[in-house]
Structure 1
Amino acid sequence: MPAQNPARLPRRWLTAASAFALSTALLAGCAVYKPEVLQGNFVSREQVSALQPGMSRDQVRQVLGTPLLTDMFRSNRWDYVFTAQHRKGVEPQKYAVAVFFEGDALARIEGAEDLPSETEFVERMSDGKVYKPRNLEASPEKLQSFTDSQKAKAKPQPELPEAPSTTSYPALPQ
Structure 2
Amino acid sequence: MRFAPAGAALLAAVTLAGCAASADPDRRFAGLITPYRMEVVQGNVVTQEMAAQLRPGLSREQVRSLLGSPLLADIFHADRWDYVFTIRRQGAAAQRRHVTVLFQGDKVASFEAPQLPSEREFVDAIDVSKVDGKAVPLALSDDQLRALPLPKPAAAIAAPAAGASAPARAYPPLEPLPAR
TM superposition score category, shorter chain reference: 0.5 to 0.7
Cα 1:121–1:53, aligned 2, differ >3 Å: closer, same or farther?
same
Question: Among residues 69, 72, 82, which one is paired with 2:85 in the alignment?
Answer: 82
Which position in structure 2 is the counterpart of 1:148?
A: none
Q: Deviations over 1:114-163 (max 9, x none)?
A: 11010000010113623779xxxxxxxxxxxxxxxxxxxxxxxxxxxxxx
Equivalences for 1:50-61 in 2 at 5 Å? 50-61=53-64
Alignment partners' CA distance in 1, 2:73 and 2:120: 28
| Structure 1 gap segments, 5+ residues each | 1-8, 134-174
Q: Does 1:73 align with 2:96?
A: no
Report how many aligned residue pairs link the two structures: 121
Cα 1:31–1:120, aligned 2, differ >3 Å: closer, same or farther?
closer
Equivalences for 1:20-169 in 2 at 5 Å? 28=30, 29-85=32-88, 87-111=89-113, 113-127=114-128, 129=130, 130=135
Cα 1:128–1:33, aligned 2, differ >3 Å: closer, same or farther?
closer
Larger of the two Rg values belongs to structure = 1
Give the TM-score normalised by structure 2. 0.56
Pick 1 or 2: higher relative contact order, CA cutoff 8 A, min separation 6.
1
**Structure 1 stretches of at least 4 aligned residues deviating more than 6 Å after TM superposition:** none
Alignment partners' CA distance in 2, 1:50 and 1:132: 33
Over aligned residues, Cα RMSD in angstroms? 3.2
| Structure 2 gap segments, 5+ residues each | 16-28, 139-180
Q: Deviations over 1:56-97 (max 9, x none)?
A: 100110100000000111111000010112x22211110110
Alignment partners' CA distance in 2, 1:107 and 1:64: 16
- Residue 116 of structure 1 aligns to which amino acid in structure 2? P
